[in-house]
Structures are given as C-alpha cells and as structure tokens.
Structure 1
Amino acid sequence: MLKQLLSITTLVLLSIAFTGCATITRGTEEALVVESDPAGADVKLSNGMVGKTPTSFMVKRKTNLVVTVSKAGYQTATINVNSQIAQSGGAAMAGNIIFGGVIGAAVDSSNGATRELKPNPVKVKLNRL
C-alpha cells in the first residue's frame, strides 16, 4: 500500500513539475529590437512604448504590434509585428502534452510562451522626402 501511494505521489509531483514547460524555458516576454537607417529615428509601438533607434523593448510574446519609425526629413515607416507559434515553442508544447498534460499545455498556450514575434529584429531603411 505504501509503495502504491509513493508511486502515485511521484507521478503527481512529476506532472506538476512539467506543467508550463515553455513558460519556464522561454518566458512570456521577448526583446523586440528596432533598428533604422539612418539611426536616431523615433520609434512608437502600438502598445504605447517609445524610443529612438537602435533600441529594444521587452514585450509580450502573444501580442501583435504595429511599429512606427519616423525621423524629420524622412518618410514614416509602419511595420506589423505578428505573434506566431515558435519552432521551439511547439517542441515545448509537445513536451507538455507528453509529460505535463492538459494543465501545462493550457498554461503555455494562454500566456504566449510558445509564441515569438516576427519580424524580429525590425530593420527599417527610411526614405528621404
């Protein structure tokens, strides 16, 4: 009886340990890098973050963004950055299904840990007006 209880306890603990694999290994945020030619351009993300190129922002992996790059004397550029399933995120999800079960898969898919932003880095060549 004690051996059976120990086996069940071990299985439960292993299931808990393997839930959220991608969340643990990849995190829910990613550094989005923005570069421009010429450098020193203003950058504004659709989530309200701002900076000057070259720059990077820590953003949620599961969020689509619009990046606007502008500089006086140059045409403004707008780039869509999309959240998509990452190759390594898919592997982590498969590991969840095999080892962590439904709970781990649900956690990773809901918080964006299995996703990545594309394009990243965002490279913009601004055209003179």
Structure 2
Amino acid sequence: MRIIAASLSFLALTACGTVTRGTTEQVTFLSEPPGAAMRTSFGTGCPVTPCTLEIPRKQEFVTTFSLPGHADVQVPVTTKLSGTGGASMAGNLVAGGLIGAGVDAYHGTAYDHTPNPVIGRMVPFSSPLPARRRRAAPQS
C-alpha cells in the first residue's frame, strides 16, 4: 500500500507545470531600429537591444524603449494561459495533484508572456517642415 501511495504522490508531483515548464520564461526584446535601451516597469532592462531576459511567468509589465533622436515607445506585456500550461494544469487534476495545481497557480506556470518577442517600433523625431510652396502670383 505504501508503494502505491508513494507512486501516486510521485506522479502528482511530476505532473506539476513548475517542474515541466519552470516558473520563468525567456522574453526577447527587439527594437526597430536596433540599438535602443530597454527598461521594464519592475526595474530590469538592457542597455542595448536586441536582448533576452528571464522573467517570472506571472509578471505583467510595461516595457519602455529609448533611443536618441526617437520618441520613447511603451509596450505593455501581459500574460495568457498557454496551451502547454493548460495541459500541465489538466495533468495535475487528472493525476489528483491538488498540491501540484496549487503550486502551479501560485507560480503562474500555466502562463506565457504576450507579446513575445516584444518589439519597440521607434519613431524618429519630426524633421523641420518642408518649405511651403509659393502660390503663383495672380495674373493681371
């Protein structure tokens, strides 16, 4: 009986998304044009894009891209339930792993960041307005 209980406990814990997917996700940051500085609303960032950071799966944030001669661009990054993460949660429920399901929910392991990659499309500051066309003088 102990062997069966131990086997069920092991099965419940191995179905856990925390084990199979991890509590963090690699998020890639790109800018157009490349070379912008990037910072997140929770404090981390990269001095130059492109770059990739390891972000907690349940962390939503706003990314700000900065590049001299261009307007700053902010891109919100949200989380969504992923197909793989949903399957992990279903595996917990099928295997009877309420503990595993609780751990997954706490760590947000069923979620993925969107968008990923995060792209900051930089807009250059406006150049001076072109010279106005002169109207033709009225003919007399």
TM-score (norm 2): 0.82
Unaligned 5+ segments in structure 1 are none
Letter in 1 for 2:19: I
The one of 18, 23, 26 aligned to 2:21: 26
The residue aligned with 1:91 is 87
Q: Larger helix proportion, structure 1 or 2?
A: 1
The one of 45, 49, 54 aligned to 1:50: 45
Structure 1 residue 10: deviation in Å? 1.7
Confirm or deny that 1:16 pairs with 2:10.
yes
The structure whose Rg is larger is: 2
Structure 1 residue 109: deviation in Å? 0.8
Structure 1 residue 84: deviation in Å? 1.6
Structure 1 residue 112: deviation in Å? 1.1
The residue aligned with 2:60 is 64
May I ask how many residue pairs the two structures share in their alignment? 123
The residue aligned with 2:75 is 79
Letter in 1 for 2:70: Y
TM-align CA RMSD: 1.4
Using the alignment, how far apart are the partners of 1:83 and 1:53 within structure 2? 22
Unaligned 5+ segments in structure 2 are 126-140
TM-score (norm 1): 0.89
Deviation string for 1:13-55 (max 9, x for gaps)? 3223422621111100011100011111010011111211000
Using the alignment, how far apart are the partners of 1:21 and 1:123 within structure 2? 32
Structure 1 residue 56: deviation in Å? 0.8
Letter in 2 for 1:32: V
